[in-house]
Every structure is written in C-alpha cells, then in structure tokens.
Amino acid sequence: MKSLVVYSSQSGNTKKLAEAVFEALPEGKKITPVEEAPDPKGYDFVAVGFWLKAGNPDPKSTEYLKKVRGTKLFLFATHGAATGSDHAKKAMETAKSLAEGANIVGSFDCQGEVNAGLLEKVKARPNPPEWIADADAAIGHPDESDVNALKEKIKEVLAD
C-alpha cells in the first residue's frame, strides 16, 4: 500500500499527530508538510491533517483537500475547542465536503494547545469566538493519550 501523510501545522500540534499517523502506517509511506505535498493521485491512502482557522480547515489544507479524489482519505485535526464540540464537528464536516470524490475512511480530532500570544489576542476581542472558553483545557494537548488514540484509529481503519 502506498500511503501519504500531509499536514499543516503552525504550533507543532498537527505535526505531532501527523508523525503518529506515519508511525502507524505500513511500509511504502511518505510524510510531508502541505506546502511540499505531491499530487495525491497514485496513492492508495492519504491522511490529511489540519488546524482550524475561523472554524474551518486552514487555507493551505483547504486547497489541498480539493485535490484528493478517488482514494482512501483519513482526516485529522487539532483545535482549541473541546473535542466533540459543534465547532470541531463543523470543521470536520467542511473538510469532508472539500474532498468531494474521495473515499473518506475515517477521521480524528483532538484539542491542541493554542499559542499563548494568539490566545491573549483572541481573548481581548470585543466578541471572542465561542471556542475560547475551551482553550485553557487544551494546554498540553495533543498528549500521549491523544497520540495513542489516533494510532489505534489508524489501525482500525487499515484493518477494514
């Protein structure tokens, strides 16, 4: 199986998850930041990881997801919002819709620690976004438990 792991990461959170996906995959794999990602055609399995910007996959991942067609696709994301929140669910649904024509075989998301400087700027806004209430709980994530849960999810997806 020829596999590709593509990720976009500002603070290292999503990169950490991308490395976990890469470790869980069998031989015949490649990992790359989205800026250097090859055309996904010719890969049997593609995993795309992203962070959220304004409740959506980041712009570079958004563009890349539009290229993934006719292959097995696994999505993963980090965000400051609570796992399972409407904010996180909406972003994952958006990612799925961007990859129209891909065979989406699974997804995973978890909190990721938000950069302290950015967090302060966002908190200072007159109308801060809803996810800000969850951001303090994201400190230290993704942690070992998150990474292990992701690896298990990849193993389940590959077994199907």
Q: If you write DSSP's letter for every residue of 30-81 in order, what string do you get?
A: EEEEGGGPPPSTT-SEEEEEEEEETTEE-HHHHHHHTT--SSEEEEEEEESS
Alpha carbons 52 and 88: distance in angstroms, whole number:
8
Number of domains observed in the structure of the chain: 1
Structural domain includes residue 158:
no
- Tell me, what's the pLDDT at 103? 97
| CATH number, domain with residue 61 | 3.40.50.360
Instruction: Provide the residue range defining the domain that includes 13.
Output: 3-152
Structural domain includes residue 159:
no
Structural domain includes residue 79:
yes
Structural domain includes residue 157:
no
Structural domain includes residue 160:
no
Q: What confidence tens digit (pLDDT) does each residue in 69-123 have? A: 999 999 999 999 999 999 999 999 999 999 999 999 999 999 999 998 888 999 9
